[in-house]
Structure 1
Amino acid sequence: MCTGILTLNHDLFFMKKWLTLLFLSPIVGCWAQSVDLGRYQELPDPKPVNSASWTAVKTGQNVSFATADVRYAKHTAPDSKTLQKSWKAQAWKGEKVHTQAVIWSATPLSNVGLSWSDLNDAKGHKIPAGSVSAGFVRYVMTDGLSPTGDGCDERPPGKYDSSLVADPIDLVKVLDVPKHTTQPVWLSVSVPPTTPAGLYTGTLSVASSGAKPTVLTYSIDVQNRSLPAPKDWKFHLDLWQNPYSVARVHSVKVWSKEHWDLMRPYMKMLADAGQKSITATIINDPWRSQTEDVYGSMVQWTKKKDGTWAYDYTIFDQWVTYMMELGVDRFINCYSMIPWNLKFSYYDEAARKDTFIVAKTGTPEYEAHWRPMLTDFARHLKAKGWFEKTTIAMDERPMAAMQQALALIKSVDKDFRLSLAGLYHPELEQDLIDYCVATNQTVDKATMQRRRQAGFNTTYYTCCTERYPNTFTFSPPAEAAWISWHAASKGYDGYLRWAYNCWVKDPLRDSRFRTWPAGDTYIVYPGPRTSIRFERLIEGIQDYEKIRILKDEFRAKGQTDKAQQLEKALNTFEVSALANTPAATHLQPAKALLNSF
């Protein structure tokens, strides 16, 4: 879902193409179609084997460290220029670091398995093997941008060139590697916060049937600096959650006990990335059925026989409590008073049926529908102790519509909090505690600093509009980390992406969607499986935290030389620079500088 400049174009498109779904469909139960979450077969590669790349490859199992900046092609032998005999990383205490290794073979390999050791230093300290993980990177179908670089368009099958790309990190422990195949491996080390500083060495072993195990040695230089726990990160991460997608892929009824249990590891993984906002829907289908799994309302609206209204907050309360228990508790962002189709569903007690009205902002019908709800919602939130955390959230809409909605909200309770993702409107920003703007918008640092001091939040987002930086499945992996460096450069408090898990029909095998670039709708996979994109995004957030901590230290100690060095590096993170310089080329020297302090 792209907010901002292209929202109205989206409106016109969806008005023609995706008019309606039965509005109770996601509430009654799960969709019939589900996803095979166990072992699965990747789709055939549309690209032929690059035979020339395999001519010099020796027979049998080949294994090497590689780089996290490359999505290795499945049927092309890895470029030797990207391979490394060893891996050495620098890390703060509490930081997660990662790299990629590759396995490749001109002949079939069966029962390929991974194992790893503790990391030990020379003084008897260790990073336990339980803090290390390694997983096979699988291949998923992707597409690309249009020839003009546009991503916000209808995408029937075959419109754009498709290919397999490495992205999901699988849960399987053993995998067969066919001949003429490159099989990436993602290696992560989460340094425990109590680890003494020092140089730690460990091994990653790759074994397959009939082959001698290959042992790769690597080291982590743990610095005498500490990264806070993710719940204490200042970076404001807002990846919108879709609980309805979890129900569909697992074939369970929405809001059943099974659904709540299955969601936990997904939302825990998000919380561990530093997620700050809860995505809550207070109306049905706020984005006009644009996703594979339509968002239902977490509040049940009932018009009584006498014309008064009743609101059931049971699901809303359960969802908010659930996410807060996982540590996601900065904002409860409630969508939306201005849905794309201005359609508002409710149960009519007199008619004994579900129905809806269509009402524009500023009309008597709109006010009659929303004023009672907002009044009761404010009462309920205050009783729960959530009023200060809750925002009435919306996407970019025509200025008159936004001003009318804001006026109504404030007339009900002047202390209601508001959130907007869209263009930058100086005339609105003082009313918006949570304001997210597009990459092409400019918010001066003085305004952001004033907002920060007032407890307000200013972030930026990417969507289908941006060629770069982005987190499509075909985006260069380093762009996901680059995103947070750009936030640090411009003074933003964080980053928003509209979908954590709005999965397509077959998300493990095919990330393409009917309207936007592949991967636009989700960044993690069913399982739950993490991804190269998600891990690199976390990497950038950790860098943002390190930058923040170092800036505070340099300021407190009067270390202006170090502060200027860091600022000079940050000034290179301009979106326009990505037109000619890959994100990885920006990041490598900047990260080296960051870890030198």
Structure 2
Amino acid sequence: MKLDYKILDSSVKHIKGSEETIKSGDFYLEVAKEESFAFQIFIRADKPFFGTLGKNRDIHWKGLGDRIRIEIAGHEGLLDMSFLGYVQIDDGSIVADPILKKKSLYIESGYQMIWVQGKVPKGFSKANLELELRAYHSNGYRAEELVAKEDVNIGVLDYVIRPVKEGGFYLDLWQHLCSWARAYDVEYFSEEHFQIIDNYIKGLSELGQRVVDLIITDYPWAGQRCYQFEDNASNLYEFNIVKVSRKNGRLTCDFSAVDRYIDICFGHGIDEEINIFGIIGNWDAYSFGSPIGDLKDPMRVVCYDEDLGRFDYIRSKEEFGEYLRAVFRHLAGRGLWDKVKIMSDEPNNVELFKETLELIESAVPERKINIKCAIHDQHFFDNYGDNIQYLSLNTCELVNSMERLNSIKDEVNSRGGKMTWFSCCFPEDLNIFIKSPLIESRLNGWFTYYWDLDGFLRWAYAIWPTNPLKDVRYKYPKWNAGDMFFIYPGKDMKPMGSVREKNFLFGIQDFGIFKELEKSGISKTEIIREMERLLGSKCDMEFVPERSVRMKYSLEYKEYAELRNSLIKKHLLNSKL
């Protein structure tokens, strides 16, 4: 049986039928100690086979036909292999994205990508991680026969990186808890749901997440307007995590789910900030209506009327203020108020914003309200910036504001806030769609450093259409496949990663390395100057109304790897002098 294979870096994207775009060349990988890294194995046989990884022994339902087992010998325990799954995106292409948890897979025809990830421990003493790729073939009851082998050498720098949890990258990926419950068909905020939540929050913490999200109204974002789309019809509504009741005309609030969720996040080290969602300036509020007639900014809070035995809504501005007061005082009573930020997603009406903020402030006049905004329009910050402590700019608005970016950041930081950037359904460039070049997922960390920002925000860590393992396409062309999620729902109630998520993690690690190199004596000016060769000059970046940018950055993985490692080597050399 003939087996073809290639060893490739982690940024190579496999699109079925476009194998000619995958360049052949010398494999290059040089890593720091304690750095999460990955490479890929690209395989193809001349007939169908059942593939297994490592020492796995499995059998396909077809029986003992052709089998190929792939293992990597040397330094066992440092590496883990997984088959990649393939999803169909909007243009019909079949693209490798999910990192499957299967260690065996029947491969009918064509090429298959295998993901290999690992980490070199800080106690490793050699300059190279010397591995050997081996492929064994068997059929029926014949013993395995070695049909391919190749040495794989990974350079190891004598430099230990800090965990991303301890780094300076301020990661803010939004959480959609109800989407997680629907993926596994469990009751919202049930015991099973909290088990799932714990698993997913653990995954978020491993990326270095800093923020807890509390959605305290019903249907903010109006389900991302899912009611308008029949193709791959999907329920994307979020529900209030607070259980609200009315008895004898007075509201009562059950905060047990709130407290349990906060405790889960804090238990995984996500404890720097608590964002309150759904009470000011949500981007889609008006078309879905509102039960509160005397409040212009639509708010929806389901309330169970115990006297009448029926579900209703909070229906007055006064009662909504009473509800806010109960929520705020509960968080303050737990000693959490200094962490609380009121989150507004794409506000664009200053007068409406002002009215709602006044109501929020009146609910707890004894405490300072800190506002956080993710905006597309810099004019909103200019006109109402005094009330905004934390700010995130879309890529387009960031490029459009490049000349005054430093002054905006200085203003935000002077208020004790963080300034981040975000991409969403636009722009096409520098995004994390499944169709995007994989290196762009990694470059989020590089551009965050290059632009001197505190971190990165993204509207979705995991919100899925109805069956994301079968059809990831949704709302195209408004949304590109993958816009909604970094990860997939695994069958074990745990997240299943993607190659985009892992490359994104690698970029966060790079950000941390650059920050540490600054402390070691390599000037920020020098790092920025080196980066400019690959990322392009800031003054040449252009905003193209309404939703595009022009940027000239390299897509070559090796160039970025060599630049980063050359700076590490310079530091190592300087430390010996």
* TM-score normalised to structure 2 length: 0.80
Helix, strand or coil for the counterpart of 2:313?
strand
The structure, 1 or 2, with the larger RCO (C-alpha pairs under 8 Å, 6+ apart) is: 1
Counterpart Cα distance in 2 of 1:407 and 1:129: 61
- Pick closer, same or farther for the CA change 1:196–1:458 going to 2, 3 Å: farther
Q: In structure 2, which of residues 418, 426, 431 is the aligned counterpart of residue 465 of structure 1? A: 426
What amino acid is aligned across from residue 332 of structure 1 in structure 2? I
Q: Deviations over 1:134-170 (max 9, x none)?
A: 2111110111xxxxxxxxxxxxxxxxx3221111111
Answer whether contact 1:110 1:208 (CA < 8 A) is retained. no
CA apart distance, 1:238: 1.5
Counterpart Cα distance in 2 of 1:213 and 1:264: 43
Give runs of aligned pairs for residues 186-335 of structure 1, distance below 5 A.
186-196=115-125, 198-210=127-139, 212-290=146-224, 292-305=235-248, 307-335=249-277
Counterpart Cα distance in 1 of 2:158 and 2:52: 37
Counterpart Cα distance in 2 of 1:75 and 1:511: 19
Paired position in structure 2 for 1:434: 390
Paired position in structure 1 for 2:356: 405
CA apart distance, 1:118: 6.6
Counterpart Cα distance in 2 of 1:447 and 1:176: 54
Helix, strand or coil for the counterpart of 1:437?
strand
Counterpart Cα distance in 2 of 1:508 and 1:559: 43
CA apart distance, 1:350: 4.1
Q: Cα RMSD over matched residues?
A: 2.7
- Pick closer, same or farther for the CA change 1:427–1:200 going to 2, 3 Å: same
CA apart distance, 1:564: 4.2
What amino acid is aligned across from residue 438 of structure 1 in structure 2? N
Q: In structure 2, which of residues 509, 519, 530 is the aligned counterpart of residue 565 of structure 1? A: 530
Paired position in structure 2 for 1:584: 555
CA apart distance, 1:561: 5.2
- Pick closer, same or farther for the CA change 1:142–1:381 going to 2, 3 Å: same
What amino acid is aligned across from residue 298 of structure 1 in structure 2? I
Answer whether contact 1:94 1:190 (CA < 8 A) is retained. yes
- Pick closer, same or farther for the CA change 1:167–1:388 going to 2, 3 Å: same
Counterpart Cα distance in 1 of 2:385 and 2:514: 26
CA apart distance, 1:501: 1.1
- Pick closer, same or farther for the CA change 1:189–1:453 going to 2, 3 Å: farther
Paired position in structure 2 for 1:496: 457
Q: Are positions 1:421 and 2:382 aligned together?
A: no
Paired position in structure 2 for 1:99: 39
Q: Are positions 1:139 and 2:81 aligned together?
A: no
Counterpart Cα distance in 2 of 1:263 and 1:168: 20
Answer whether contact 2:392 2:419 (CA < 8 A) is retained. yes
Deviates more, 1:335-344 or 1:192-201: 192-201
Answer whether contact 2:314 2:320 (CA < 8 A) is retained. no
Q: Deviations over 1:433-462 (max 9, x none)?
A: 332111122262133145335531111111
Q: Deviations over 1:366-403 (max 9, x none)?
A: 3x133223322232112212111121212122222222
Counterpart Cα distance in 2 of 1:288 and 1:400: 22
Answer whether contact 1:113 1:208 (CA < 8 A) is retained. no
- Pick closer, same or farther for the CA change 1:190–1:452 going to 2, 3 Å: farther
Q: Percent identity?
A: 25
Answer whether contact 2:9 2:29 (CA < 8 A) is retained. no
Paired position in structure 2 for 1:374: 324
Give runs of aligned pairs for residues 332-351 of structure 1, distance below 5 A.
332-338=274-280, 339=282, 340-341=285-286, 342-345=298-301, 346-351=303-308
Helix, strand or coil for the counterpart of 1:287?
helix
Paired position in structure 1 for 2:231: none
What amino acid is aligned across from residue 550 of structure 1 in structure 2? L
CA apart distance, 1:432: 2.8
What amino acid is aligned across from residue 210 of structure 2 in structure 1? K
Paired position in structure 2 for 1:352: 309
Paired position in structure 2 for 1:40: none
- Pick closer, same or farther for the CA change 1:226–1:262 going to 2, 3 Å: same
Paired position in structure 2 for 1:530: 497
Counterpart Cα distance in 2 of 1:213 and 1:265: 40
What amino acid is aligned across from residue 316 of structure 1 in structure 2? V
Paired position in structure 2 for 1:125: none
CA apart distance, 1:185: 1.0
Helix, strand or coil for the counterpart of 1:189?
strand
Q: Deviations over 1:219-241 (max 9, x none)?
A: 33222322211221211111112
- Pick closer, same or farther for the CA change 1:432–1:185 going to 2, 3 Å: same
What amino acid is aligned across from residue 503 of structure 2 in structure 1? R
Counterpart Cα distance in 2 of 1:403 and 1:118: 63
Answer whether contact 1:136 1:170 (CA < 8 A) is retained. yes
Answer whether contact 2:53 2:81 (CA < 8 A) is retained. no
- Pick closer, same or farther for the CA change 1:564–1:105 going to 2, 3 Å: same
CA apart distance, 1:275: 1.0
Answer whether contact 1:472 1:520 (CA < 8 A) is retained. yes
CA apart distance, 1:265: 2.9
Answer whether contact 2:434 2:500 (CA < 8 A) is retained. yes
Q: Which runs of 5+ in 2 are unaligned?
A: 55-69, 140-144, 227-234, 287-297, 544-548, 568-577
Answer whether contact 1:112 1:206 (CA < 8 A) is retained. no
- Pick closer, same or farther for the CA change 1:310–1:560 going to 2, 3 Å: closer
Paired position in structure 1 for 2:59: none
Q: Are positions 1:546 and 2:513 aligned together?
A: yes
Answer whether contact 1:201 1:219 (CA < 8 A) is retained. yes
Paired position in structure 2 for 1:393: 343
